[in-house]
Structure 1
């Protein structure tokens, strides 16, 4: 397996996901500065998710015409420019607009990179390559709260994101040198989209992605608020605990790729959804700090297992010319209806009831969704 391309891809995905992951530990600061409700703060995540999903859908259909490498470079460069522009944002509307634009730039990456990875590596290595690549998300989730909590002691949080933005302008130069452009396929895009959505596995994967995204990034987005506002933790302690609890996900995302190649995506999808749902449920009902700590570590690690398996499953359920469209359609569904809607809904539920109530129902729904994985097939 060639390691240099995967190393560069890993860093691109790390920067992309670090930007997204940084929104969660920063959200309490924005909420206090702008005097926002929990629902209004969660709405910023929704704006990001709407932009992310829109680009995923568009890029999934047209990336083969635009060029896979060009799309990746445009997206990462766009993130850098927006993070620089964020330095002058002062009002709630400005944060909404920049969150939307940040989502638009970030969403260009995934439909393109999976096709580049499957072009670079042989079929038997897809699970391992995608799992190793996706471990960058785990590292970003682990480091973002810790680095933000540490960094704000010395710099304004906007300056921390400025440094990330500068890195986003530099790294695409290395990506362009080491990456390989997938061979373009001649296809009728409209008919392929229709054929794609006529197939039951695509709808099942979209629903599973929605619920898993809600339990993963949806809950992740609001956890700092939950720990600080509802569990009464101090800001730095909550974010350090929040970040450290993510460390188990790094090993899970690497290991899950090997399990997928060995046992098949159906079994591993079912297992990942079941454990994600149960651990999310336990996060809401933990009565003591010790049990809450255990639940945090379990939920953080287990909720990450779904996504490398899902990407490998989509790669196997679609033909090469459909792959970017399939990834764009399925992941964008998870982003807008799972990752995007969940923070808003959790915030609204918290304003009227509690965060615990919203997280409880999120865990129940995800647990029951695991049984749908058995209906996936290759037709």
Structure 2
């Protein structure tokens, strides 16, 4: 089945879509936030709430995205979602108030929900034997988007002063239009696996929502979601507060973004050899450790090592969880499973930046939010020990239309 489609074209198109939806639409905000905060006179609490609002839009639609992908086809949602992200990015370039920012972030969240979950369904459907690698390449677009933002922000803020972030959001919108066109031209809906008679009688509640393996994966994913937007939202500001100049801080963040490009494919390949459970445990351990380093060593080398370890593991966590969710159940439910576990992930994101921003303002500064991130990853590590070592579902043995 996978030989009928050019895998490199699908890998490229998937990366471009995730660069737009996750890289530009979600992860770039943390890098641009300090400049938006100053320009629009926002508090840290409001800045954190904007990231939370993005997650609200995402959470509100992500579960429906998986179901709609089954009914209408994944490609339609991916293309329309990417166009919606492009619109949201361009609108964000024009905002003049906190309220307008909230609207833009909701639009970006909805667009990302329509894009990412159905995209996983497409790559898993066409390339089931290489799902780890393909999901890894897909998620690597997140790192590329972060890298692009980190490299461009010093130029735009230097050239256009305090309003440079507006021009950068608009550029992201234009690039996202090109990403949407690539998805329209390259991607196709995969064949639909057949259900046997017994499986047809089962409801989504039994097959997905109440499945013990899916629920455990979902809770772990929720904790990761709670944690991972915290450093993305506030670490850049922490680097600046530690006395490091804007250009150097951008380079440090870019270094982490560069490492995250390789994280998904790297841990996808590793998990194919040593198992996804063991790979996830390793990435959670490294990720938690990387968040403590800048707390105790808020100097240049401490930030560099932290970003290296965080970058090389964080995207791997996401791709491993997504691969685990698709392997727990029948492949026809893959997009529904991904959408379901992502609800937990997005729910965690609702709490992460908002609570992190509140702790910064009222508890112990940005370092306290990084300690919170570490604690959440440790809890996810403990739950990961309960995952089964081997997944029993075999996708390649399932007949297809």
Q: TM-score, normalised by structure 1?
A: 0.92
Separation (CA, whole Å) in 2 of partners of 1:189 and 1:71:
27
Contact 1:124 1:261 in 2 (8 A): no
Instruction: Confirm whether residue 376 of structure 1 aligns to residue 384 of structure 2.
Output: no
**Alpha-carbon offset, residue 216 of structure 1:** 2.4
Instruction: Confirm whether residue 118 of structure 1 aligns to residue 129 of structure 2.
Output: no
Q: Deviations over 1:3-24 (max 9, x none)?
A: 1222112111112222122211
Aligned to 1:30: 36
Which runs of no fewer than 5 residues in structure 2 stay unpaired? 1-5, 393-401
Aligned to 2:317: 306
| Residues 3-42 of structure 1 mapped to structure 2, 5 A cutoff | 3-19=8-24, 20-42=26-48
Aligned to 2:205: 193
Instruction: Confirm whether residue 204 of structure 1 aligns to residue 244 of structure 2.
Output: no
Aligned to 1:67: 73
Instruction: Confirm whether residue 109 of structure 1 aligns to residue 78 of structure 2.
Output: no
Contact 2:126 2:191 in 1 (8 A): no
Contact 1:146 1:244 in 2 (8 A): no
Change (3 A) 1:89 1:292: closer
Contact 2:240 2:249 in 1 (8 A): yes
Aligned to 2:3: none
Instruction: Confirm whether residue 160 of structure 1 aligns to residue 184 of structure 2.
Output: no
Q: Deviations over 1:253-300 (max 9, x none)?
A: 221111111121111111111211122222322254433332232223
Instruction: Confirm whether residue 332 of structure 1 aligns to residue 343 of structure 2.
Output: yes
Separation (CA, whole Å) in 1 of partners of 2:260 and 2:182:
27
**Matching residue within 274, 283, 288 for 1:272:** 283
Q: Deviations over 1:52-91 (max 9, x none)?
A: 1222111022221122110001100111122222333101
Change (3 A) 1:193 1:152: farther
**Alpha-carbon offset, residue 184 of structure 1:** 4.5
Contact 2:226 2:352 in 1 (8 A): yes
Separation (CA, whole Å) in 1 of partners of 2:186 and 2:302:
46
Q: TM-score, normalised by structure 2?
A: 0.87
Change (3 A) 1:90 1:314: same
Change (3 A) 1:289 1:9: closer
Aligned to 2:271: 260
**Matching residue within 220, 229, 236 for 2:232:** 220
Contact 2:226 2:376 in 1 (8 A): no
Considering Cα pairs closer than 8 Å and 6+ residues apart, tell me whether 1 or 2 has the greater RCO.
1
- The alignment partner of 1:88 has SS state of coil
Contact 2:132 2:265 in 1 (8 A): no
**Alpha-carbon offset, residue 185 of structure 1:** 6.5
Q: Deviations over 1:346-371 (max 9, x none)?
A: 11111112211221132133124213
Change (3 A) 1:246 1:103: same
| Residues 127-206 of structure 1 mapped to structure 2, 5 A cutoff | 127-155=132-160, 156-184=164-192, 191-206=203-218
Separation (CA, whole Å) in 1 of partners of 2:300 and 2:66:
44
Contact 2:221 2:344 in 1 (8 A): yes
Q: Deviations over 1:123-159 (max 9, x none)?
A: 3211112212222212222221221222232343222
